[in-house]
């Protein structure tokens, strides 16, 4: 298996990874990014970034595309391969893929996170047929319909507000008795007559023949309620894309990578930024800041 060498390898082409790679290249470091899926990460399907990472940013796709274009002009190698492992030979790190091995003294883990699934009957079977996790993409398909949104954080409330532009009623199902979201989103949801919140409830199953037809929820006290609907959107948290990492890299109980205040992991020369990192704020502006911070720190190491 042939090995291609770089100064720095960035695993992941989300906003944090793209930002870090661009900053590193501007510092004169030979940099590569590796990405198994579409660039941009979780923001790629967001039509309106709120809060926006910069004044002229409009949609997630546009913002990510601008970063990709700028990185290409800087000569950054964008390698569309999935990283399956990370090995070490002294100070040299090797990112392994099905197509080869890529080595560098510094590796930035920017592999991001993915939305959690509900894990209930009917979710997998009806995925793409009413089960969705992108209100911006699929909202117009539910014009005049009733839908269910599950969750109580920023993402769930923002998606409910997007869906309310198109839908007749948005049933917002939350397992708790209060939202864990920014106050401005809570106020917008409470003021929207199209959004009906169901507190202290959990989804039991999703049913339908060809498309989603009904969501069954269990209320406090055990009572079951059926919600006729055409779609369901779950935003119940994130899972880190960290399964490919070796055991030597410390993670917390939920799999997010642990770093020090310089964003370095438990292995010297391996760094973590963005949504894969324990302690990341979840704010896109901070992903950009972390990308610049880690690039500057690595530049100092490479002097």
Domain boundaries along the sequence of the chain: 3-115+238-301, 131-234
The 3-state DSSP class for residue 71 equals helix
pLDDT at 258 over 70: yes
pLDDT at 120 over 80: yes
Q: Report which DSSP code applies to 259.
A: -
Q: Say yes or no: do domains 3-115+238-301 and 131-234 share a fold.
A: yes
pLDDT digits (tens, 9 = 90+) for 186-229: 999 999 999 999 999 999 999 999 999 999 999 988 999 999 99
pLDDT in the model for residue 221: 85
pLDDT at 93 over 60: yes
pLDDT digits (tens, 9 = 90+) for 42-67: 665 555 555 555 555 566 677 788 88
Q: Report which DSSP code applies to 41.
A: G
Average pLDDT over residues 264-271: 96
pLDDT at 282 over 90: no
- Look over the chain and give the mean of its residue pLDDT values, rounded to a whole number: 91
pLDDT at 28 over 80: yes
- Residue reference for tokens 């917390």: 252
- Residue reference for tokens 């790190």: 93
Q: How many CB atoms lie within 10 A of CB 91?
A: 10
Q: What is the pTM of this model?
A: 0.86
**So what's the architecture of 131-234 in CATH?**
3-Layer(bba) Sandwich (3.50)
Average pLDDT over residues 281-296: 92
Label the pairing between strands 201-207 and 214-219.
antiparallel
Classify domain 3-115+238-301 by CATH number. Answer: 3.50.50.60
Number of H helices, E strands in the chain: 6, 19
pLDDT digits (tens, 9 = 90+) for 135-192: 888 889 999 999 999 999 988 998 999 999 999 999 999 999 999 988 999 999 999 9
């Amino acid at each position: 298996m042939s090995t291609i060498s770089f100064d720095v390898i960035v695993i992941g082409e989300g906003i944090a990874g793209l930002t870090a790679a661009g900053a590193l290249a501007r510092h004169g470091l030979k940099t590569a990014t590796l990405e198994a899926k579409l660039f941009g990460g979780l923001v790629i399907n967001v039509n309106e970034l709120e809060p926006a990472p910069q004044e002229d940013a409009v949609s997630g796709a546009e913002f990510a595309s601008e970063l990709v274009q700028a990185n290409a002009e800087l000569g950054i190698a964008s390698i569309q391969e999935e990283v399956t492992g990370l090995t070490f030979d002294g100070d040299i790190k090797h990112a392994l893929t099905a197509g080869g091995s890529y080595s560098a003294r510094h590796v930035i883990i920017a592999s991001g996170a993915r939305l959690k699934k509900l894990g209930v009957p009917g979710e997998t079977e009806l995925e793409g047929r009413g089960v969705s996790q992108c209100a911006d993409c699929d909202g117009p398909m539910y014009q005049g319909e009733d839908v269910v949104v599950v969750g109580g954080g920023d993402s769930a409330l923002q998606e409910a507000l997007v869906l309310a532009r198109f839908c007749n009623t948005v049933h917002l199902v939350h397992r708790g008795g209060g939202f864990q979201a920014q106050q401005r989103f809570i106020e917008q949801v409470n003021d929207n007559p199209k959004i009906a919140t169901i507190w202290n409830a959990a989804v039991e199953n999703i049913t339908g023949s060809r498309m989603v037809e009904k969501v069954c929820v269990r209320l406090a006290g055990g009572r079951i309620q059926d919600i006729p609907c055409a779609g369901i959107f779950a935003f119940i948290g994130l899972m880190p894309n960290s399964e490919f990492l070796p055991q030597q890299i410390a993670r917390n109980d939920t799999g997010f990578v642990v770093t020090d205040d310089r964003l370095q992991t438990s292995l010297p020369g391996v760094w973590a930024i963005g949504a894969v990192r324990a302690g990341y704020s979840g704010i896109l502006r901070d992903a950009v800041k972390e990308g610049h911070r880690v690039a500057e720190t690595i530049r100092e190491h490479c002097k």
